[in-house]
Structure 1
Amino acid sequence: MPKVPPPVYVAAGLVAQHLLARGRRPTIVRSVAAGLVAAGSVYVAGSAARAFKHKDTTFNPLEPERATAVVTEGPFRYTRNPMYVGMTGLLAAHAVYRGGLLSFLPVAAFVAVIDRTQIPAEELAMSRGFGEAYDAYRAVTPRWVGRAGRPPTL
């Protein structure tokens, strides 16, 4: 299991974006667009946190084996990883705010690292812990966003 909390990657991405877009001043249009993307991202992540709390299960990404339920409500109907979608959105919002294409490199890096290291470890723990229930959910709900199928009712 990876030992770096995903928010640490987000913080590193924010610093990298700042360095990559040094001296660029945000315009009003970029500021408003970034604010809207950030607000949506916070909403998605906050909704996921509420769904975890409603099911009385952990959302500690370093200890997925401690999960006590498969959460399929709220944003989990559309993505298996709404917390990571929210974090990605925050990085994207900051990239829009900072300006320049190079500001999006840390967004891509975050997605790549989370998608290749963190998520597979979490999915393995969930599959081991919940078996067919989690596998059925995984079969119809995309890892990131999109439409993979109709989410099951658990």
Structure 2
Amino acid sequence: MPKVPPPVYVAVGLVAQHLLAPDRRPTAVRSVAAGLLTAGSVYVVGAAARAFKHKDTSFDPLEPERATAVVTDGPFRYTRNPMYVGMAGLLAAHAVLRGGWLPLVPVAAFVAVIDRTQIPAEEHALSWSFGEAYDSYRSSTPRWLGPPRDAARG
């Protein structure tokens, strides 16, 4: 299991964006777009945290084996990883605010690292803990974003 908390990756990404970004003030359009993206991202993370709390289960990304339930409601209907979607959204919002193309590189890096290290380890632990219940959820809900797969068919 990876031992770096995902928020640390976000913090590193924010620092990298600051270093990569042009040194100029954001335009009003970029500020509004970044604000909307930030608000949406915070909402998704908050809704995911509430869904975990409602099911009274752990959401410690470093110890997914402590989970006591498979959460499938709220934002979990559209993504198996709303916390990571929200974190990526926050990085994207900061990239928009900073301007230029280079601040998008840490967003892509965050998604790649989480997608290749953190999520597979979590999925393995959840599949082991919950078996068919989690495997069925995993087969019907996208890893990142999209409609539930059975809803997309009909």
**TM-score, normalisation: structure 2:** 0.96
- Partner of 1:95 in structure 2? 95
- Partner of 1:19 in structure 2? 19
Q: How far 1:146 sits from its partner (Å)?
A: 1.3
Deviation above 4 Å: which 4+ runs of structure 1? none
Q: Which amino acid aligns with 1:38?
A: T
Say whether residues 1:146 and 2:146 are aligned partners.
Answer: yes
Q: Is the 8 A contact 1:10 1:87 kept in 2?
A: yes
- How many residue pairs get aligned? The number is 151
Listed one character per residue, the Cα deviations across residues 73-121 of structure 1 (whole Å, up to 9, x for unaligned) are 1000000000000000000000000000001000000000000000000
- Partner of 2:73 in structure 1? 73
Listed one character per residue, the Cα deviations across residues 10-65 of structure 1 (whole Å, up to 9, x for unaligned) are 00000000000141211111000000000000000000000000000001000000
- Partner of 1:115 in structure 2? 115
Unaligned runs of 5+ in 2: none
Secondary structure of the structure 1 residue equivalent to 2:131: helix
**TM-score, normalisation: structure 1:** 0.96
Map 1:27-66 to 2 at 5 A. 27-66=27-66
**Aligned equivalents of 1:110 and 1:135: distance in 2?**
25
Q: Is the 8 A contact 1:139 1:148 kept in 2?
A: no
Give me the identity figure in percent. 80
Q: Is the 8 A contact 1:34 1:93 kept in 2?
A: yes
**Aligned equivalents of 2:25 and 2:123: distance in 1?**
41
Q: Is the 8 A contact 2:79 2:145 kept in 1?
A: yes
Q: Is the 8 A contact 1:65 1:125 kept in 2?
A: yes
Unaligned runs of 5+ in 1: none
Q: Which amino acid aligns with 2:116?
A: R
Question: What is the alpha-carbon root mean square deviation over aligned residues?
Answer: 0.9
Q: Is the 8 A contact 2:51 2:71 kept in 1?
A: yes
